[in-house]
Each structure stands twice: as structure tokens, then as C-alpha cells.
Amino acid sequence: MKSSSPDHPITGSPGPTADSARPVARPGGTLSYLRSILVLNNLIYAYTIVLGAISLVASVFARTGRTQHRLARIWSWLILQTAMVRVAVAGRERVDIAKPHLYAFNHASAMDIPVLYVHLPFQFRIIAKHELFKYPFLGWHLRRSGQIPIDRDNAHASFRSLRNAVAGLKAGMPLVVFPEGGRTATGELQPFLPGAFYVAIKAQVEVVPCAIVGTYDVLPINTFHIHPGPVEVVFGEPIATTGLTLHDMDRLSERVRVATAGLLEDRSGGR
């Protein structure tokens, strides 16, 4: 099957729906809820304001984004410690992290980002929705640290952003994408957008299917109620893109989705 629009990959249609990967998040008690709202969330807001401001100042002197990445790791570590999230990593030996890859993760929670900043042992950049770049402090950091904004309503601007991402990969900077295009509302793995793999094909780098297990239980969408608990990051086997063209985006997207669903199923079965 060919992609719907190779010239503007962000307008491609999603792939087929995946099976359920995670159960619905458990409810919490009143004390747990109050603790989240009155303590944890206010601390996280404070971390965001302070580290975001420092990142903004640092960007005046350090324009490569590397200093901002280190600040994001500190921000993320503080969040994970505050939320009492314990993270394990599996399968990292499958990937040669000395090479630039496109890492494709499922997106179950706002907690995914702190988990990745702390537990991916290398500098990387993220393809993110352009709406996030509009928030004070967070948006300033995203823009000044070299993250890649995608606006599905503006194909021209997004295409320009993707070309910058291709250049970054070719220059050796790994890239993280969430092919579902947003957080899942149900805990299930959502359809993938083939356009997420435009960058890997153009740069001819391997795609690493990855899974984050447990963050939906910690912090599902549409709530500020944080549930402390275990999380696991799982790396799959890299998938080569050598010789692929933009007409292969759908097929590559489906292959990565199947691999990601398999990682989630394997890990979820033991939880």
C-alpha cells in the first residue's frame, strides 16, 4: 500500500487499530488524590518554571541544545523522584547507541517524557505537537533546545520541520517519535501515523521499536492524579530502512506497530 501523500507525510492516514496493550488505570483514594493535587503537581509546576527559566537563559550562551537536554534530565529526575516512579530498562543491548536511530515509542502518559529523558543514555531530540511549544517555560525550552514541532494543520511548516529532523539524524542526533500522534485515552496502543517514519526513510537510519509499560497506570490522560508505581522501558530489535522509499512508509509503519504491540504484550502479560 502506498502512502496517501509522500510529499507531505504528516497528512498520511493512520494504520490499523492495535489490540489492547494496557488495562484501565486504577482509581485512587481521596488522600492519594489530594496529595497529587496539592503537593505533587505543585512541585512539578515549580520544577518546570525554575528549570524552564534556567534553560531559557542557558540558550543565550549554549545554542546546540545539549545544555538544555541536561537541564531536561534534571527536571525529569526530579519529577520521577517526586512521583515515586521506579523505572527498569530492558533490551538496551539490542541497540548500538553510538549510531543515530529513530526511536519509536508508544505514548500512554505525560509521564513518558520524564522517563525517557532520565533513562535514554544519550542526547536526542523529539518530534512533538506544535501546541506544546505555545506553553510558557515548557514551550520556550522545547523551541530553544532544538525539538521538532509538527502542525498537522500546516503541512508546509511541518514538512520544513521534518527536513530539519532529517538533517539532524544525518548529523548524528538520535530522534524520538510517538507514531500514535498523541497520548492514548484508553491505555490501548492506537493506530500509527505513517508520516512519523518519513524522517527515518529520508535519513536511511534504523528504526528501533520501543515500549513504555506502566506509565498509563501512573498518570493516564485527562487527570492530574498521580499513582506511584513501576515503569519499564523496553527496546526492540532495530529495523533497517536501507533502500526504502517514501512509498514504503505504510509498510514500515505497520511493521514497527506490530513490533511495538508485541513488546507491550510480552511485558504486560507479567504485570
Q: How confident is the model over 150-199, as pLDDT tens digits?
A: 888 888 888 889 999 999 999 999 999 999 999 999 999 999 999 889 99
Between 223 and 21, the more confident residue is 223
Question: HEC profile for the chain?
Answer: CCCCCCCCHHHCCCCCCCCCCCCCCCCCCHHHHHHHHHHHHHHHHHHHHHHHHHHHHHHHHCCCCHHHHHHHHHHHHHHHHHHCEEEEEECHHHCCCCCCCEEEECCCCCCHHHHHHHHCCCCCEEEEEHHHHHCCCHHHHHHHCCCEEECCCCHHHHHHHHHHHHHHHHCCCCEEECCCCCCCCCCCCCCCCHHHHHHHHHHCCCEEEEEEECHHHHCCCCCCCCCCEEEEEEECCCECCCCCCHHHHHHHHHHHHHHHHHHHHHHHCCC
Q: How confident is the model at residue 144 (pLDDT cuts 50, 70, 90)?
A: confident
Q: Where are the domains of the chain?
A: 25-268
Task: Give residue-wise pLDDT tens across range 242-259.
Answer: 999 999 999 999 999 999
Q: What class has domain 25-268?
A: alpha beta
pLDDT at position 87 over 50: yes
